[in-house]
Structure 1
């Protein structure tokens, strides 16, 4: 049995971990993760204003109306449009900036700012200007939906493309080199001049080329051909469970699975959240997506990856061994804020074939119960608001469902599911250490 266990562990260490490590260090995935993070402060701030305006407590709504007037909620639209409403514009800069900056020329990191700026320019070039009104009152403008999460996949395609073209031209020395006496800010502008011209012309040709196709423009092509299949895969139960399994398998071997998984899935889940938010604001009876950013990062991450808040509560309240109880004391405060390194590395879970089982199985079970509970109408949909992943469990259930108490009830049920799965494993682990500590 021991030999078989070591053979399995050896296989993962020799075959699986090197591949996973390469995926974790892949420049484009890292750029996606870091670029999307540029949008997170705006998403959280915008969601906070939405919660303040839409909090479904009659006494609160009456008080605010009496103090600020009947139209006191007018700030909501302004704040949401200026934060959540521009995340594609922020992402198109952030991703190109991050990817370009990960490359080097002559042993020095590339300045990613010009790539980010050029990416924004390319984003505007490929998006068709719409005409609003007729005659002298006609106005040309970009639709505001262009800047929302609806066009996040277009932003990803453009930003990755711009960064790669910019990197290639710099590495091939297609630049204007200024004397060292020229100030860096001026020199930077001239360095970006030739690559910038090439990039702008390239995306103008892309726009022209797509005008002869059935899609008419790049944005329509990305939305209909690329975005929909990816969203369907990432929004489905199977896709979400696969992401969950992949993330927690990596964690079990000491690799930061969350950073890899979120780099791929966050754009999908943020886009889904945006669609839910629009439907929620419009008063829709049923929201379009079950799986959103908050569904996973505030629901499945219960105390962190592995749904470990349940096991921390057991360790703190019921554990008999000194070691396990001490880990519970150390882990409870971080666990409340969904940080679980004391559990993952303290029990430990990493490279522990026994505790890997509940660590992987519990979040999959939580995902399953949450998904189908929402599908059949027992649990409420997440409204699309983005709250920090460190928001304590149960509080997050109320906030992410638009102030629905059933969101809290759902999290109580999910906590019980995780607790039941962890229970036999942590009891055996606790008993093992208790007997070891009390040997004479």
Structure 2
């Protein structure tokens, strides 16, 4: 099999995965919750700002409790948001009543979630409305939307006369599939009750969550995720979009556990979180390309690399490395596959053990925007601990050394090619000179 055929097959498989409607809906559903997560993280960082006089002032004037509540109210509903959004996006792909699919998924999620009995009446725990409810929300939204799609495609729904406004007609058309969907989840609840399973969230977490947790709860699992992402990036496929639908709900759950523990003043339970992978490991984006951007900007001798360094360094500081990915290039370039893979794997190992041994503070659960520059991101992700910035300086230095021999070889080849091109042009210009026009 030729290399081109192999590459075409890999691209076909990767695009098939990347364009799968359920994975796309899951990805878009998770993305819809990110504004809430980032907003909640900002309020959390303000309330726990690493400057004691400021936090004492917040406590004294009573603002800290409100900022903490803002953090809880945003993080605390991401399960609901993701449940609705996944169904809405999948319904959009199917060209069905996406709003009805979202509402029915949300109602089904609430139906399956255990309630709390208090002196003020019944209620729902923030825990399952938030990140701990993600797995159930994902399952419920996908199944509910598929059932709704079947009813709509089979045209089993109430039809209203043409004179009825479209909004009213759409509302009535959802009654029959909605009744079937809610009845199904009632039946599931009854079965779980008969089996003495009171909490479907705990059931799913202990089965599906534990199995998938091998990817996010262990260092070998995270390294496997890094390798998969790098593999797809080398063929021009966005690696994070391939692994994101599977790994990101797990990482966000770990981040939220750290957030709750941090606000309660308890030991942070997790090292491997959303911030660990996207802020600490992938500095400068895929392949830790911030290190290569530094070399291009400061060490280039060839004009081609000098120009690329000037163009790529500013955006790569903000985690946007596409100019290097396509301009260096990284994609489809087997000459740089070793540092492209080795840099993030080395970074993950060093950072993990530095946190595990207590040399570096763990991420506090504040999800830092992915465009935050390295070093600043490490400082913020650890709650303003200088160790978070120092470990990023160390890993960026190591990554630069990893890329250095490959960069120097590439820069030398390009420089020699430019010199040869200049000599060829000079010879050509000299050969075109008409010596008869000169008199001696």
Q: Which residue of 2 aligns with 1:90?
A: 81
Q: How many Å separate the matches in 2 of 1:431 and 1:60?
A: 53
Is contact 1:151-1:223 (8 Å) kept? no
Q: Which residue of 1 aligns with 2:110?
A: 124
Offset from partner CA, 1:279-334 (integer Å, 9 cap, x none): 1111113x111111111111122111110011101110110001111111111111
1:56 to partner: Cα distance = 1.4
Q: How many Å separate the matches in 2 of 1:216 and 1:284?
A: 28
Q: 1:138 to 1:393 in 2, by over 3 A?
A: closer
Q: 1:111 to 1:356 in 2, by over 3 A?
A: farther
Q: How many Å separate the matches in 2 of 1:83 and 1:61?
A: 21
1:43 maps to 2:44: no
Is contact 2:47-2:68 (8 Å) kept? no
1:139 to partner: Cα distance = 2.5
Q: How many Å separate the matches in 2 of 1:100 and 1:239?
A: 32
Q: Which residue of 1 aligns with 2:383?
A: 402
Q: How many Å separate the matches in 1 of 2:321 and 2:215?
A: 29
Is contact 1:207-1:217 (8 Å) kept? no
Q: How many Å separate the matches in 2 of 1:77 and 1:64?
A: 11
Segment of structure 1 superposing worse, 219-228 or 270-279: 219-228
Offset from partner CA, 1:28-73 (integer Å, 9 cap, x none): 11111100111101000001000001011124335556xxx34331
1:160 to partner: Cα distance = 1.2
Is contact 1:150-1:275 (8 Å) kept? no
1:16 maps to 2:10: yes
Q: 1:297 aligns with which of 270, 274, 278?
A: 278
Instruction: Output aligned runs, 1:321-360, within 5 Å.
Output: 321-360=302-341
Q: How many Å separate the matches in 1 of 2:277 and 2:297?
A: 26
Q: How many Å separate the matches in 2 of 1:317 and 1:220?
A: 53
Q: Which residue of 1 aligns with 2:432?
A: none
1:339 to partner: Cα distance = 0.4
Is contact 1:276-1:288 (8 Å) kept? yes
Q: How many Å separate the matches in 2 of 1:234 and 1:361?
A: 19
1:138 to partner: Cα distance = 6.6
Offset from partner CA, 1:255-299 (integer Å, 9 cap, x none): 1112112122110110110111111111113x1111111111111
1:385 maps to 2:349: no
Instruction: Output aligned runs, 1:71-220, within 5 Å.
Output: 71-103=62-94, 109-132=95-118, 137=119, 139-220=121-202
Q: Which residue of 1 aligns with 2:55?
A: 61
1:27 to partner: Cα distance = 1.1
Offset from partner CA, 1:107-139 (integer Å, 9 cap, x none): xx223111111111001111122222xxxx473
Is contact 1:130-1:140 (8 Å) kept? yes
1:251 to partner: Cα distance = 0.8
SS of match in other structure, 1:39: helix
Is contact 2:47-2:58 (8 Å) kept? no
1:204 to partner: Cα distance = 0.7
Segment of structure 1 superposing worse, 51-60 or 333-342: 51-60
Is contact 1:303-1:337 (8 Å) kept? yes
Offset from partner CA, 1:86-116 (integer Å, 9 cap, x none): 110111101111112111xxxxx22311111
- The gaps in structure 1 that reach 5 residues or longer are 1-5, 104-108
Computing the radius of gyration over CA atoms, which structure comes out larger, 1 or 2?
A: 2
1:19 to partner: Cα distance = 1.4
1:223 maps to 2:205: yes
Q: How many Å separate the matches in 2 of 1:168 and 1:247?
A: 35
Q: How many Å separate the matches in 2 of 1:362 and 1:295?
A: 15
RMSD: 1.6
Q: 1:313 to 1:219 in 2, by over 3 A?
A: same
